[in-house]
Every structure is written in C-alpha cells, then in structure tokens.
Structure 1
C-alpha cells in the first residue's frame, strides 16, 4: 500500500499522499444554502486526505437539484464556507469545492420563483427528486437559450471566484453523473440544432467554455474537471462515448488544469485511453469492473501500479472512516457505512464514526 502514501504535485498543489476524498452529497446545509459548523467538523476530521473534494455545491440558484445542498453564489454562503476551509487548513489539509449545476435534475419547489429547471433540451430525466413531502417527478426542463448558456458559464466563473474568497485551494467542475455539463455532452439529453448540439464538437462546447472561463477567473492550476464516461445517472445516455471523451480530453488538455478526475464505471479500457491522452495529473475513482462498488484500497493500489492514475479517490471509505490513511496502514478494520445517515439529518452517520484508538 506504500504507493498510496507517496507525495504528489498536481499543478501548483503539493499533496501529502495520493488518497483523495471524493465528492459526496450529504444534504446537511441549511435552507439558504449555507454550510454550518457541522460541515467544518466533518471535513476537518478527514483532513488526512491528500485532497478533499467537497460535496456538489451549486453555482447559482437555478443550479440546485436537491434539498439542503450548499451554494457558493451569495456573500453569506461564502462566509459560511470560510469556517470549513479554515478548519481543514488548521489540520494541514487541502480542499477543493465541487461546483455542480444540476441542470434538468431539479424541481420548481427548490427555486424561489417556482420556475422550471433548465437543460440543453426540453427532455425530462424520467426520474424523481426526494422531498420532505414525498417523491416529486422531475419536470420537463426549460430549454436553455444562448443567453442562458452564457449566464451559466459566467455563474461557474463567479462561483470559482467566490470559492477562492472562501479560502478554498481550488474548484472541481462537475462534468459527470448526468448533471448539466454531461447533459450537454450526451446526445440522449442534448438534441439541440445550434452550435451547442448535434456534432461532438458542438456538444463539448459548453464544457470547454465553462473550463476556460473558470480557469481565466482563478487560474487553471486551481481548476479540476470530473467526468464519468458512459454514465447513465439521472437519465443521461451517450451513443458515442469513446469518441466523445477523446474530443473532450483533447480540448481540455491545453488549458493546464490542475487535474482530470474520472469516475470509472467498469470500463478500464476507456480509462486507459483517457490516461494516454491526458498530459497532467489524473485522479481516478477506481471501479475496474461493474461489480467493484464501493471501491477498496486494493483497487487504488492496482490503478497506481498500472499507471492509469496519479491519485485515487474513494467515497464511501472516507464517509465511514475519517482516519482512512491510518486504517489503510494498519490493514483495517474499516467502519461500515451507515446508509441511513447518508443524506440529511444531524451528526449521526456524519461526524460520529469512530477512529482507531
């Protein structure tokens, strides 16, 4: 397991190890999108990660897709996040915030104006959103105009500037899991006939514009980008995954981003293709086979030894084991994740996992 504990330079970042805490939605923000002292405790407990990537955080009001998720589009939200970044830095940690615009994955009940969620095309996910009142159908989204697209790009850049003001070391752009950026990439959810739809060159345009604008706003060395090739999460579908990500990676490579983060979905060959084309740091959430969920430390070691990753991200392992590096070095044991505490609630299943004595 020694490979997991080697230092790593990622852009201008110096990471103490190659264990990354993957972003995980936990739905514990207060109603106005602010994080709390509980978030500061949760992330500070896990500051032993080489890099923490926070839960998905909306860059705008319309970017929200779930109840009780945090934002980075108001002064109050920025101030609240500063308590988190201060706590992590006090423990010697490095922390990026994941900027997540959920696009069509949303519901009018989330927005003050009661309006529709937005997407590249007026195609619903076919899925539902949990709410305290029960499950709600995702409605058909409003197709984004060219002005809406430009506004969304600007919102990502503004949220990145807010992240730096809040003390984050950088941001990760969520281009995975069926959210807005992947909705533009995927031909199942993007059936536009203008410059943002149709050909692969057009479908990657929004993703590349967001990456460029964010890099211009805070510096490319502070920007990561996450992808999940072939994902069908939230109703997306891609008919041309290999060609699509070949083109996207080729367009992102010259930007000098801090890293590319792959959510692997059992297609190691696709990971190898991206690794060969990506010139910078690559973080892998390793799932070498469809059955390998959740990923294990051994999966990470295998990926590092094969050379398909420079660092490895784990989700459930970090959720349940705040002292994950110590547990890996000791060969376990590992806490079992409490699924009842995944979303919403208080400290139970959040900050109360025991550490090795």
Structure 2
C-alpha cells in the first residue's frame, strides 16, 4: 500500500492526500458511523462528502448487523458502460443532440415484451415501479456519450473489447422509486437502527434489497438501449457495477457485511470513475485492498451542496453558458436548478481523486474518456 491512506482513528481510515479538500462535516459523519453497534471498520474515499446523516463516498464493514440507512434510498445505483457502433469522427453534435427528444417518458408498448422477458430472466417480480424502468431520474444521474481520449493500457483496453474509434455510452442511475420505498418502509418500522443479521426482518430487507439491485441493473440496461435506439446505433455492454449496496464479505477470516454508499467495488474487475459533466471519466483496473474495504471512489465528489450552486454561479454564468463545456461537449438539461447544481464547478477534479487512489496503490488507469454529450433532462426531473 502506498501513500494517501490517512488513519483518523483505529476504526476509521481515509483514502486521500493531505491536499485533497474534504468537508469537515463528512469526516464527522464518517467518525459517527464508526460508533454504530457492530461496526468494525469504516473507510472514506477521496470523493467523500456529507450526506443526510451518513457520508457519501464511503464503505462500512459490520459484523452481526446490517444498516439499510448506510446503503440509502437508491439501492443498486451504479454505472454501466456500453460501446456503441457510432464512429466518433462521424458525430455532428448539433444534429446528434436532436435525436434524444423522446428518451424520458415511460417506455411505450414497443418495449413491453423486452421488459417482460428481462424481468423474468433477472427474477424481478415487483410491478409497482414499472413505469420508471428505463428512466434516468434526477440528481447526479445521467446518460453520457463519451470518446476515449487517452489510452494508458492498450492491452487492457483490447481485453475489454473497447475501440477508440467508437463512441461509448456511460449510464448512471439506480432503483428510482423502488429503492426509496424500501428505505422508507424500513425507517418507518425501525428508525435508523440496524437489523440483526439472520433475523426475519433482516432476511426480508435483504430480499427487497437484492431485487432492487437487479431492478437497478435492468434500469440501466433499458436506459442504454433506448439511447442507442434513439441514436440509431447498435451497442453492447462492457461493464456494469453497483456502488450503493450491502454484501456479505469475509474480513480477517470472519464473516461480516460490507455496506457501500457511493463506493465502487474494487474486487469485481474493471470499473469507471466519472467526473462531472465537464470533466473526464477514468476507466481503471482496481487493485483490491482490505485497507480501503475493497472499494474505490464512485466519482469526482461534490464540493458544494445542492441548492447553493445557482447562487454561487449565476452572477458569472448564464444558463446558456452551462450547456457547453470547456472540453467541447454539450449538455441537455432543461431544469435550470439542476443545470447549476450539477455544474462542473460544483465538483472536485476527477483527475485528483483518481490520482489519490493511484498513489495509494489502489488502481491503475487504463484510459481516459472525454464527454461528448451529457443528457440530464429536457425539463423538470421526477
């Protein structure tokens, strides 16, 4: 293990350099989770920032207890990377942007057989949130077409079947209202208390949790397929990784439970770490480490709270200024508040977040991807 692993307490570690800015409130939340009953270890990533009671960008390891609140309401949220059949050199951005005017409404009848078949294959029985399948949602979720900008490991890129000439599609979304309903039900019954592992209540939650994870994976697949269809493109899945979930995991030769809240698994192969909509995304090969609880950052990490961004930026940037980025990419976002909340200035630089983890010996960079077109919403997000 290299540098950039800070030991805050015996139970709490932070993967970040001394120069990486991390809000004090996030550190306090990290320490507070270490005090929970059954908590063994807590690890913060360089994208760590405060959440609603619990930090985002962290992993938590427990024995004998599971804490649904540490997973949060967007169970199964994650990233999927698809390679399209579109040539980067052939993209005319002005024309390309006009192709995505019908990618937000619930999937129409033409998708019904695909949805039915894939739900059956993934053992998804819930129907209550079918209208949300194939939709991105609000917040920091997106669908982004990208170009491979720099290659650092050509052999790894080839092994993944990635071609620099092709346009890539990165989808970030989760379980939408399904995950929210599961957490709300849990909080109503148990407040923020954990569940005893193996208990009937814990088994009930884990059944719901596991289905929500599968639902989120299907949601990303359907989002990708409808964007590829709108672009009149073929495409195939390269990787799909969840960063909000709890899984059984042995540590120190003892069984336990690894909770991830905005933390990308480092023990499942290659992953992507995206920046803001005006920043680069990094494809990396993780080097699994117990010290980081087998986790990496899930993105660049916020610097500013949502709701504060418009006040900070509106005197310098008009709405039209924010739909074009310094990297030459375009942004589709008809929601003015969201446009400011998700501005590149509100996030850390992804390069520094990735560098912190590389210096700690947690990953090797395979490639850098540049945004071409980021889709958020045409209007208000639900």
Fold-level match, TM-score > 0.5?
Answer: no
Higher relative CO (Cα under 8 Å, sequence separation at least 6) belongs to 2
Whichever structure has more strand as a proportion of its residues is 2
